[in-house]
A and B are shown apart, each in its own frame.
Chain A
Amino acid sequence: MKFSLKLLLWTVIVLALALGISGFYFVNYVFETSMARETGQAMDESRILRFAFETAALNVPAKYDVLADHTIEEIGHNLENGGSRRLRILDEHRQVVYKSPGFEGDDLLLSQTDEAVNTWQVIHKGEHYYVQTCMMADALNRVLYLETLRDVTEVFRERALGFLVYRRVTVIMLVLGTFIMHGIASWLTRPIRFLTRATRRMAEGEYDYRAKKVSEDELGQLTLDFNRMANALEENIGKLEKELQAREDFVAAFAHELKTPLTAIIGYADMLRSHRLDEEKSFLSANYIYTEGKRLEAMSFRLLEIMVTRHGKLQLQIVSTDLLFEYLYNMYRTNRTMGFHLKHDKGTVWAEPNLIKSVLMNLIDNACKASEPGSVILVRGIRQKDGYRFLVKDSGVGIPKEEQEKITEAFYMVDKSRSRSKNGAGLGLALCVEILALHKSRLNIDSEPGKGTCMSFVLAEGPGREGGEDRR
């Protein structure tokens, strides 16, 4: 059952009970007050009647000292006030002496009445209600019971009318109340409905859907918290999707990269086994198989390196920058196609020397690939406040802004056809980024298409803040 319906139902039940009970009490209270008043009046009348009777009895001519029955009858007839008052007079033996016409009272009160006790009761005859009173009168040594009957049907009718009116009012109030409460309940549960909708939409994969906040109460707070949670979720899902996409791209790219050398190897091997080739051709084929195999090997090593650097721990140590630059100098001394300018400040870095060498060589190779033969490639080592900065600068083709983010993905090359003539596997920069991440550093790419690229990174000089964390 819907929450708003439950709320409505309970409210209506409580409302009905409250209205019913209070109405009943109210009508009854009015009735009882009226009844008390009527009874009081009946008793007063009864007392006056007794007084009148006794007085009348005293005034009877004292012919006999005894009050005769016909005298009583006469007095009774007089007291009837022309028929407007109904009364009954009984003697000491409880025998009716006088009875007004239309007196319909019973004899129940007689046994309960004595000199000190006046009694009354309500009797119901046909459609009429009466208050019957009974008291003892003492006249000329005779004990008589004097009974009166007072019509109180009106009071009862009023009560019935009261109940009827109240019932109508209650029904009207309930209907009205139901409508009003229905409105209130749906208004109150609006945030819940919004939240439900948001939850459902999100469950269907619409992660950017948010619940509308419509109240300032606990539900409003819940909505806020829900949206905050949704934000966090969306962010995480986005991150995961991106990661997954990157992984899929990597696998696809890798599979793609594998195909070219595989085609060559399979093709040449097939030629060797199927054709009777002359010596030159079989040498060519064998050589291609060898070099393409080597390429596959290099790729698999690079890949392995990435895997290892992604998951492995490495031993960092203090490395002199002299050592690193000397290595680079020896590497590129013989290369005459480019102008290498190596210059460095004395200093140390907290690093794994072989991996950093690999990073620098990768960056230099990239710079060479991007440049025209004969242009200058600048390699600098600069000591600065926050560490030691390595910088590789070329004046080659440059990298467009929108490519700069993707460039560190495995197998990505700015020239989409991946000029393989320059012998890249497309794994270089991805590897550099991984290695630098292990050193708690990152690769800064500053490039302008047509003007050249400057790649740099900063390493800690010793096992300080950054470096120390790896050791623990």
Chain B
Amino acid sequence: MIKILIVDDEKPICDLIDLNLSGAGYSCTSVQDGGKALQMIEEGKYDLILLDVMLPGVDGYDIMEYIRPLGIPVIFITARYEVKDRVRGLKLGADDYLVKPFDVVELVARVEAVLRRYHKADNILTAGDVTVDVEARRVTRKGVPVILTNKEFGLLLLFMHNKNVALFRETLYENVWEGEYLGDSRTVDLHVQRLRRKLGWEHCLVTVYKVGYRLEVPQ
């Protein structure tokens, strides 16, 4: 199981990330103090570290300096949105940069992406009779390849990563189409319907009334 360390001085934020990443199948530990974080990094072995920049004790950039030689991927989480801060974080060797307030779905997706880059994530996702090879972008149903468009593939990944979670139309739109959702749900609906047809998910991919869709798989 993939182990993630969350370093943020805010307990509510730590818990929020913890709950969501645990839900997505990761094992999380959280710590609120920079010094303690260093100690834990030294003792335990983590696959990914989510790091807040402003910490009591030792600050996030200092921790980053310490982590870099260890080769553990790091995602910075901070309220600072200025370009120079982002550049500084990335230059120090962070793998990604997430600005508060962030969307939980986005957080999960980014964690997934970084882990995949380090070949730590499971490249094969399954739900029911559908298997997805993320790296090869190959989708098969009962061993038979299914041809999906780019957007359909993006939607499928989002559902796979958030099983049994109601995904709002705006969330789907903002994450797959990467633009601001302006209230026009037809694009999303159309693609979801096509995905349903192609994968035979008429019963799994249920419509949540007035909200969006949910991929239901028995846990």
The residues of A with any CB-CB pair to B shorter than 8 Å are 256, 259-260, 262-264, 266-268, 270-271, 273-276, 281, 284-285, 288, 291-292, 415-421
Q: Would you call B54 and A271 a contact (CB within 8 A)?
A: no
Residues of B within 8 A of A271 (CB): 16, 19-20, 104
Q: Would you call A259 and B100 a contact (CB within 8 A)?
A: yes
Q: How far is the CA of A415 from the CA of B58 in the complex (A)?
A: 10
Is B189 among interface residues, defined by CB-CB distance under 8 A? no
Residues of A within 8 A of B165 (CB): 274-275
Residues of B within 8 A of A256 (CB): 79-80
Which residues 98-117 of B have a CB within 8 angstroms of A? Answer: 100-104
Q: Would you call A263 and B13 a contact (CB within 8 A)?
A: yes
How does the 8 Å CB contact mask read for B8-26 relative to A, with 1 for contact and 0 for none? Answer: 0110110110011001000
With A270-B103, A415-B56 as given contacts, are A420 and B9 in contact (CB-CB < 8 Å)?
A: yes
Is B168 among interface residues, defined by CB-CB distance under 8 A? yes
Residues of A within 8 A of B41 (CB): none
The residues of B with any CB-CB pair to A shorter than 8 Å are 9-10, 12-13, 15-16, 19-20, 23, 32, 34, 54-57, 59, 79-80, 100-104, 162, 164-168, 211
With A256-B80, A274-B167, A292-B12 as given contacts, are A417 and B59 in contact (CB-CB < 8 Å)?
A: yes
Q: Would you call A416 and B59 a contact (CB within 8 A)?
A: yes
Shortest CB distance B15–A (Å) = 7
With A275-B23, A288-B12, A420-B9 as given contacts, are A263 and B102 in contact (CB-CB < 8 Å)?
A: yes
Cβ-defined partner of A416 (8 Å) among B12, B15, B32, B54? B54
Additional pairs, 14, CB under 8 Å, beyond known A281-B19, A416-B54 = A260-B79, A263-B100, A263-B102, A267-B20, A267-B104, A271-B20, A273-B166, A274-B167, A274-B168, A275-B164, A276-B164, A417-B56, A417-B57, A419-B9
Q: Is the interface of A mostly helix, strand, loop or mixed?
A: helix
Residues of A within 8 A of B103 (CB): 266, 270
Q: List 22 A-B contacts (CB under 8 A).
A: A256-B79, A263-B16, A264-B12, A266-B101, A267-B20, A271-B19, A274-B104, A274-B162, A274-B166, A274-B168, A275-B164, A275-B165, A276-B164, A284-B15, A288-B12, A288-B16, A292-B12, A417-B9, A417-B57, A418-B54, A420-B9, A421-B32
Residues of B within 8 A of A275 (CB): 23, 164-166
Residues of A within 8 A of B54 (CB): 416-418
Shortest CB distance B213–A (Å) = 11
Shortest CB distance A272–B (Å) = 11
Q: How far is the CA of A275 from the CA of B214 in the complex (A)?
A: 10
Shortest CB distance A423–B (Å) = 12
Residues of A within 8 A of B55 (CB): 417
With A274-B168, A276-B164, A288-B15 as given contacts, are A263 and B56 in contact (CB-CB < 8 Å)?
A: no
Q: Would you call B100 and A260 a contact (CB within 8 A)?
A: yes
Shortest CB distance B35–A (Å) = 11
| Chain B residue nearest in CB terms to A257 | B79
Q: Would you call B101 and A267 a contact (CB within 8 A)?
A: yes
Nearest 6 CB-CB pairings of A with B: A263-B101, A259-B79, A264-B12, A267-B16, A263-B100, A259-B100
Q: How far is the CA of A136 from the CA of B19 in the complex (A)?
A: 148
| Chain A residue nearest in CB terms to B167 | A274
Residues of A within 8 A of B9 (CB): 417, 419-421
Residues of B within 8 A of A291 (CB): 12
Q: How far is the CA of A291 from the CA of B9 in the complex (A)?
A: 16
Residues of A within 8 A of B167 (CB): 274
